[in-house]
Structure 1
Amino acid sequence: MDKGTNKQGGCLCGAVRYEVHGPLRDIISCHCGQCQKSSGHYFAATAASLSNFRLTEERGLKWYTSSNRAERGFCIECGSNLFWRRTGGTHISILAGTLEGKTGLRTVRHIFVADKKDYYDITDGLPQYDSYPEELKNG
């Protein structure tokens, strides 16, 4: 779990930049319908404690309330998907592709696989869940 201390990242155009000073969770791939619609595929995201996360540039950041429990952050200038956060949560999910350089992270599970599209298969042998696993519901 202690991966990615002092990592930086951001959107394609630089209008949203962030830093994480602390551990990053390994990658969870989410195949839910909302992730598909907002990314065009599925999300591969890490997460950090909000206390270890800091925006260093946010002029392009827009939050979209995607449900009564969560919102998604993206850049209004270049369209990059960046974040997902639970309302009242203590962590922020960060799309792994927005991190700079090597991450030291690995994919550890797939969630909402019942919603995945039929044009791809999940063949990596990692745990698969049809919904959100109980141990992740508080983050």
Structure 2
Amino acid sequence: MSTKTGQCMCGAVSFTATNVPSEFGSCYCDMCKRWTGSRMMGVHVNSDDLVVSGQDAVSTIKSSDWAERAFCNKCGSGLWYRVTEDPYANGVSIAVGLLDDTSDMKLVTEYYVDRKTCAYDFPPERQQLTEAEVIEMFAPPADQGDSSK
């Protein structure tokens, strides 16, 4: 268990979570796929172990008879999934992508695997670009002099 910090894309919502396990899960249900645009990867923490700053930017939507989802109402980032019915109502599943450091974490459980499609497979022959390579792709062309003369 460790302490993790994180935030939404715009920084309006930030948090510190304690007693965070190193194992997380991934869900392929239709609601998670639509909510994230991909799959939900979340780590469960007890509500008492989560301190949120920017609570005024947190909005929730009831997504099923037993759960709700929180998001930043400034940038739209999905924050966490919370079961509202016992016995799981004591915590939230924080979106792993919001965490500042995930180097010690690993995926151990996948939910709704019968809803998983080939879109979630990573073929070995795929192109992989580093941060520097992507930034270079979108950099403006080098100054080639003033062509108006």
Return the TM-score normalized by structure 2. Answer: 0.74
Aligned to 1:61, which of 33, 58, 61? Answer: 58
Partner of 1:109: 109
User: Which residue of structure 1 lines up, in the alignment, with residue 91 of structure 2?
Assistant: 91
Q: 1:30 maps to which residue?
A: 27
TM-score normalized by the length of structure 1: 0.79
* C-alpha distance in structure 1 between counterparts of 2:43 and 2:115, whole Å: 20
- Structure having the higher Rg: 2
Q: Aligned equivalents of 1:20 and 1:59: distance in 2?
A: 18
Counterpart code for 1:81 = G
Note the residue ranges of structure 2 that are not aligned, 5 or more in a row: 124-149
C-alpha separation in 2, matches of 1:43 and 1:69 = 17
From the two aligned structures, give the one with the greater helix fraction: 2
Quote how far apart the aligned CAs of 1:8 are. 0.9
Q: Judging changes above 3 Å, is the alpha-carbon distance between structure 1 residues 35 and 59 closer, same or farther for their aligned structure 2 residues?
A: same
**Cα contact 1:25–1:48 (8 A) shared by 2:** no
Q: Report the equivalent of 1:19.
A: 16
SS at match of 1:51: helix
Deviation at 1:74, TM superposition (A): 0.6
Q: Is the 8 A contact 1:25 1:47 kept in 2?
A: no
**Residue in 1 that maps onto 2:132:** none
Cα distance in 2 between the residues matched to 1:92 and 1:107:
17
- Residues 121, 101 of structure 1: alpha-carbon distance in 2 compared, 3 angstrom cutoff: closer
Cα deviation, 1:66-87, whole Å, max 9, x if unaligned, reads: 0110000111111101100000
Distance in 2, matches of 1:94 and 1:61, equals: 13
Give identity over the alignment, percent: 28
The question of whether the paired residues in 2 share the 8 Å contact of 1:50 and 1:90 is answered with yes
User: RMSD of aligned C-alpha atoms?
Assistant: 1.8
TM superposition shift of 1:11? 0.2
Shift of the 122–68 alpha-carbon distance from structure 1 to 2, 3 Å rule, reads farther
Aligned residues: 120
Give the counterpart of 1:71 among 64, 68, 71: 68
What residue in structure 1 maps to residue 41 of structure 2?
44
The one-letter code matched in structure 1 to 2:110 is: H
